[in-house]
């Protein structure tokens, strides 16, 4: 699944929408009836108890439990009479494919106890997300990605892979693209590999990789050309042939778009 992994992580984007530390005041209610939220949720409970129902399964949440509620999953929650709790909460988006839990087979809850790594990441993200500084926004994104990675790690899955049987067909398409960069590749040709109509295939491809087939092919051509410029002394005309491009002006324009320099200038700069 190498190419699918490369495409997925090259385009993966995690965006923190809101989050904070929260303690339920004595006597106050915390209740919502079953609904499907448009964003992903993290709840990390520090102390106390409450009720959470996710996709039909009920939990009595306690300190040290970390919950992941994917976007679109129906859930409800409520306080327990006379009980309070303290938690960190986080709402976030994942692009291009928000179904990370389904792709990886993640559980909705993992028992982590008072894990200093989890607590410190939530603390830093909460502080950074409340700031308007550019550097803090970068830190918030870094913390979010670290939290996602840590959640997957703490789930202790035997194997972690992006994709399953259904995604194998897009993996076959990506392998086909990589093996045929030296010639024109049409959407209809790729769609036929999946036994799909071209219009449906374009939407499916974008859902799985975050790019249109044309954008993905062009990016792979430019990456291959850059690597050949770095690692070989082949003439630029020969490199163009290997990435399926015939017109030097077009090749130079594309290369400049991706790397802000011409192929010849890049090779000269890299050799130094």
Here the CATH number for the domain that contains residue 50 is: 2.60.120.280
The three state secondary structure string of the chain is: CHHHHHHHHHHCEEEEEEEEEEECCCCCCCEEEEEECCCEEEEEEEEEEEEEEECCEEEEEECCEEEEECCCCEEEEEECCCCCEEEEEEEEEEECCCCHHHHHCCCCEEECCCCHHHHHHHHHHHHHHCCCCHHHHHHHHHHHHHHHHHHHHHCCCCCCCCCCCCCHHHHHHHHHHHHCCCCCCCHHHHHHHCCCCHHHHHHHHHHHHCCCHHHHHHHHHHHHHHHHHHHCCCCHHHHHHHCCCCCHHHHHHHHHHHHCCCHHHHHHHHHC
> Two tokens at 239?
């490199």
Looking at the fold, whether 203 and 121 belong to one and the same domain comes out as no
Looking at the fold, whether 144 and 264 belong to one and the same domain comes out as no
- pTM of the predicted model as reported, rounded to 2 decimal places: 0.66
Q: Is the pLDDT of residue 11 over 80?
A: no
Among the listed residues 147, 144, 143, 228, the one whose alpha carbon sits nearest the alpha carbon of residue 182: 228
pLDDT tens-digit map of 206-237:
877 778 999 999 999 999 999 899 889 999 99
Q: Does residue 111 fall inside a structural domain?
A: yes
Question: By residue range, what is the domain housing residue 200?
Answer: 168-271
Lowest mean pLDDT, pick from 31-35, 165-169, 175-179, 244-248: 165-169
Looking at the fold, whether 145 and 31 belong to one and the same domain comes out as yes
Length of the chain: 272
Looking at the fold, whether 46 and 143 belong to one and the same domain comes out as yes
Q: How far apart are CA 66 and CA 243, in angstroms?
A: 47
Looking at the fold, whether 173 and 64 belong to one and the same domain comes out as no
Looking at the fold, whether 95 and 30 belong to one and the same domain comes out as yes
Q: Does residue 248 fall inside a structural domain?
A: yes
Looking at the fold, whether 29 and 124 belong to one and the same domain comes out as yes
Q: Does residue 118 fall inside a structural domain?
A: yes
Which CATH number goes with the domain that contains 248? 1.10.10.60
Q: How far apart are CA 128 and CA 26, in angstroms?
A: 28
Looking at the fold, whether 124 and 229 belong to one and the same domain comes out as no
pLDDT tens-digit map of 157-197:
655 555 555 567 788 898 899 999 999 999 999 999 888 89
Looking at the fold, whether 238 and 203 belong to one and the same domain comes out as yes
Q: Residue 96 has what pLDDT?
A: 62
Looking at the fold, whether 150 and 219 belong to one and the same domain comes out as no
Residue 100's pLDDT band, with cuts at 50, 70 and 90, is low
Q: How far apart are CA 266 and CA 263, in angstroms?
A: 5
Looking at the fold, whether 196 and 116 belong to one and the same domain comes out as no
How many domains, the chain? 2
């Amino acid at each position: 699944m190498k190419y699918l992994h490369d495409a997925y992580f090259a385009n993966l984007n995690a965006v923190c929408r809101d989050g904070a530390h929260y303690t339920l005041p004595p006597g106050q209610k915390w209740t919502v009836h079953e609904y499907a939220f448009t964003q992903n949720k993290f709840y990390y409970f520090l102390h106390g108890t409450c009720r959470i129902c996710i996709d039909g399964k009920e939990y009595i949440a306690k300190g040290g439990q970390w919950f992941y509620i994917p976007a679109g999953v129906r859930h409800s929650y409520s306080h327990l009479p006379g009980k309070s709790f303290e938690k960190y909460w986080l709402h976030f988006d994942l692009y291009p494919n928000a179904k990370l839990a389904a792709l990886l087979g993640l559980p909705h809850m993992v028992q982590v106890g008072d894990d200093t790594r989890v607590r410190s990441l939530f603390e830093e993200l909460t502080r950074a997300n409340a700031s308007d500084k550019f550097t803090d926004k970068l830190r918030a994104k870094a913390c979010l990605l670290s939290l996602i990675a840590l959640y997957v790690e703490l789930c202790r899955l035997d194997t972690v892979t992006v994709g399953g049987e259904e995604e194998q067909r897009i993996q076959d398409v990506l392998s086909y693209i990589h093996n045929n960069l030296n010639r024109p590749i049409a959407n209809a040709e790729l769609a036929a590999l999946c036994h799909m109509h071209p219009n449906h295939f374009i939407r499916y491809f974008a859902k799985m990789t975050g790019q249109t087939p044309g954008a993905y092919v062009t990016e792979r051509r430019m990456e291959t050309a850059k690597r050949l410029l770095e690692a070989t002394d082949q003439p630029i005309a020969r490199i163009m042939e290997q990435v399926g491009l015939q017109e030097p002006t077009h090749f130079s324009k594309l290369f400049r778009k991706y790397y802000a320099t011409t192929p010849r200038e890049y090779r000269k700069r890299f050799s130094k």
